[in-house]
Structure 1
Amino acid sequence: GGTTGLPKGALIPYRQLLTNAFQTCMSWGLSPQDRYIVATPMFHAALNALCTPLLYLGASVLIQERFDPAEYLAWVSQHRVSLLFLVPTMYQMLAHHPDFERTDFSSVRWAISGGAPCPAPVREAYRAKGLRFKQGYGLTECGVNCFTFEADEAERYPESVGRPMPHLWAKLMDAEGKEAHSEGELWLSGPTLMSGYFERPEDTARCLVRHEGRDWLKTGDLARRDAEGRFYIVGRVKEMFISGGENVYPIEVERALYDHPAVAECAVVGVPDAQWGEVGLAAIALKAEAAAQGHGWEEEFRAFLKGRLAGYKIPKHFVFLEELPKSGPGKILKAELAKRFGGRNA
């Protein structure tokens, strides 16, 4: 289940689980001595991010029946957990918990975030505790873990998800179906592809295509690649909106907003505008101390973004909520925000 439409049933062959397990063990340097807490929902693809590979190795996996920040932090210290995997919202909940500062993270080799781009302030909170942090990227349709990155390099390039896993091919394609050299829609190919969507032949045909002798998954994600082959996720194709003829990628605006110390959570969607066709709407949940101040945050955010973004990228509308709507795995539901505030894009 994504955040831009109704859930679909992805048909997962055994080859995907097996290939993903040994790719992850090999590329991420997993060990039978590793310890890990499964705190993401069992119906979520994140189950196969670390749980399945570690069980394949015979490592230790602890299952948290329901995500509880206090219990999770206690388990990290008590069981000498060596690897962390959570979605950004969960990392944020841990960082804001009063037990976070006194938790012993010395046993943790590295932490990885998945499901959505992790805001820089959240990553910095863990780096301040001495944890090495990576950004992950994957999707149910292609075996969850699609890229790999050494922790040292990941720290130097915090916005990158790394390079493709062994036996996985990645390329960028433009809107005309031609290969792009630096930025485009991410296509993936390899033995971890799903077989298709359950009883949805039209959806299957849209995203699984034959090209130059290979089966490719059109991920719907916009990405760019640097000269050294590192990939960066720019945003979702469906989330991009056009304001005055210019493409706006919400993820870029959200990253800039997260740099403001008052922002706890944010999401940007495109909404109709008589003059520009579409403009940005930023939905923001303030941190408790900022919300208590109660002054004109909208103008402050406009001024803050002015030095960081081109004028057409700065949201025209700001709405402030106590919390943003989320899916079961903790992803912000942009489709719900767009529907609530009159937008067509999500």
Structure 2
Amino acid sequence: MPALKKHLIHRIALGIALVLCPFLVSAQETNTSDLAQKEQAVRDLQTRFDVDFSKLQIYEQVRVKTSQAEEDALLYRRDSEALALLSRTGKMAQTLADLPENNATRIEVESQLRQRLAGIDTLIIGGLERLNRRIDEARARVPSLKGVDQFQARAQISSLQDLRYKTMRAMAEIFPTLEMLGIPYEDFRRQAELILTRQAERLVALLSFSEAATAEIAAEHSANPGNSELVLAYSEIQAQHEQELAQLIQITDALGLMGVNVSTYRAVIVKQRGVLSVDIFKGKVLQNILAEYYESIRFYLHENAVNVVLKTLFIILIFFAARLLSKLARRAAKAGVQRSKSGLSQLHKNVLV
């Protein structure tokens, strides 16, 4: 009997194995297929990365004497390609994270990325410094230019500024990639945070200046509405204010990616926009705005205490006088209702007389 029971159990187990075997084989084949697809995706990204990296070297290897305008255009193109390559590095790192740590493809590509990203801190910070110099040089040339050349110079400045802020954001986004590859980045992160914070503080100051200039121009225009130069100046300062605000938003987002508390800058953004947004409810943004307005109210009360007190007393007196007149009117109406017909007739006669 025990032998028969053992035989039945063996037969049942064999039957289950035969039933599950196709599913297990299919699952294994699926996992192998998924892994192969992920490896191929990494290989494709690596091939494109190598091509773009080699293309980038052309700008450094070829030294042909060109005009200043052509040189500026080439440098802008080089920096734009370098920025795109840096962003692609982050995408490749995310794709690598989907592969097992002991995967041969992952190990090989990670090793190559470590070599390519060696000294990335010097490259990015040095690139930002070069962008700053080129922006300053372009600004210095604007007053001496006329017509189309001046508009082109201004467009160049705007493009360089946009590239600078995109580079700053890419700098903030690179740290997860460096951490995944095991590349030390603490010193680089401190420098990046300092660069972004200084830029944010500079923009906050510029926004304050442009806001004050806007108020001054508006006041002068009210006194002299026929001055067309004031209208032009107002339009220019408004455009400058909007540009500085957009730049502060970009820097604030970059600092937020690094985990820095940006509630103060978000409060400035909400205030300078002139409208409420969902940012007001994030973190300590609302608290900062209320604290700032409280300080303004407290300063106003301190500077105009006497006037505020007199105005308050005057309002209180008006309030009590209105209440007194209301009570007298109610009493008169009540007394009129309670009079007899003869008394009410006599009251009408007295009023008419």
TM above 0.5, yes or no, is: no
For this structure pair, what is the TM-score category when the shorter chain's length is used for normalisation? under 0.3
Larger Rg: 2
Which structure has the highest strand share of the two? 1
Structure number with higher relative contact order (C-alpha < 8 Å, ≥ 6 residues apart)? 1
* TM-score normalised by structure 1 residue count: 0.25
Which structure has the highest helix share of the two? 2
